[in-house]
Amino acid sequence: MATTTGTASKPVSLPKSYRKSVWLLLGEALLWILLIGIAIIEIAPISWMVSTSLRDPKNSFDLPPDFWPTALHWQNYVAVINSPDIEFMLFFWNSLKIALIVTGAQLLTCSMAGYAFGRLRFFGRDILFGLFLASLMVPATVTLIPSFIIIRSLDLMNTHWALILPSVTSAFGVFLLRQHFKSLPEELLDAAKIDGAGYFRIYWQILLPLTGPALSALGIFTFLASWNNFVGPLLFLRDWDKFTFPIAIATIRGYMGSGNQSEVLAGIMISIFPLLVFFLLAQRWIVQGAAITGMKG
């Protein structure tokens, strides 16, 4: 602390209780045990999944369980990918395609509306923004049934549009970006206007580059929410060739889970592998983003 360094030259005699008491040590020890214990509990199911997905299928139910791979039976992964009944890599493509489109669309629509509500003056602005805020209170469970009827009457059942269109924008994203745009200094925009920048150039070349962290946080969590979405595909998709990972895995478990645990786990590993890589690469941003936005995948 800059303010304390100046005055800290005089040695301060600390009261006795500041010295590490038994209670302090005990508290600290408990905290460490909790931290390490929970970390082990959090990671154990995942390391069990990795190890078991690499076991020979005929040993896949054997006990004791492995938490570290003892076999490297990659054939399970090959079997899942080359399965004759189901095109597993098609799920990957479906999930990726939908998540990318939804993320791109949301970043665009939310940032545009965020600019309008945060930086432009027009009649009815506050009422319209109030609508967005109010809709934050509406739980997804409530809009599920009418959304189904709307999608059905638009004749979009069993298409990927049924998953994309309802997620094209989000009230939360509009709110988040509006707050960020609003917090930028007015002088910056004035300067741009003096230089002759129009509304679109101000939005595209000044505001967007300055809100990188908020945009990337929104992008990351929109992508995750789409990748992990379960209710949408459960409701709207019927055919295997349209399925995304979560619904495909829940369905595969139904008819082959009891027979071959290792192959089902290999399938799950393939479906979360992109998340794992992404997380290890971008952990800092993801963790910060979770704190900024209060969203989760």
Partner 1 sequence: MTSTALSEDRVDRQATPQRSKALARREALAGYLFATPALLGLLVFTALPIVASLILIFLHYDLLTPPKWAGAENVTRLATDSRMFKIYWNTLRLTVGVTLFNNVLGLLLAVGLNRAMPWGLRYVLRTSIFFPVMTTTASLAVVWRFLLTQDRGVVNFLIGQIGLDPVPWLSSSAWALVSAMIYDVWKSCGYLMVIYLAGLQGIPAVYYEAARIDGAGFWQQFRNVTLPLISPTAFFAIVISLIGAFQIFDNVWVLTEGGPGDASRVIAMYIYEKAFRGFEMGYASAVSFTLFIILIALTLLQFLGARRWVHYE
Instruction: Report the nearest approach of partner 1 to the CB of residue 241 (Å).
Output: 19
Cα distance between residue 203 and residue 116, in whole Å: 9
Nearer to partner 1 among residue 84 and residue 139 (C-beta): 139
Closest CB to partner 1 among residues 66, 87: 66
Integer Cα distance of 119 and 142 in angstroms = 32
Smaller CB separation from partner 1, 78 or 128: 128
Encoded tokens for 273: 């592998």
What minimum distance in Å lies between the beta carbon of 97 and partner 1? 17
Question: Which class for 47: exposed (0-12), middle (13-18), buried (19 or more C-beta within 10 A)?
Answer: middle
State the nearest-atom distance from the C-beta of 139 to partner 1, in Å: 6
Minimum CB–partner distance for residue 197 and partner 1 (Å): 7
Please, what is the end-to-end C-alpha distance for the chain in angstroms?
37
Of 206 and 272, the one with the shorter C-beta distance to partner 1 is: 272
Nearer to partner 1, 79 or 236 (CB): 236
- Nearest to partner 1 of 97, 125 (CB atom): 125
Q: What are phi and psi of 295, to 5 degrees?
A: -115, 160
In whole angstroms, how close is the CB of 272 to partner 1 at the nearest point? Answer: 5
As measured in angstroms, the least distance from the Cβ of 84 to partner 1 is 22
> Rounded to the nearest whole angstrom, what is the least distance from the CB of residue 98 to partner 1 in the complex?
14
- C-beta of residue 222 within 8 angstroms of C-beta of residue 102: yes
In the bound complex, what is the minimum distance in angstroms from residue 25's beta carbon to partner 1?
A: 9
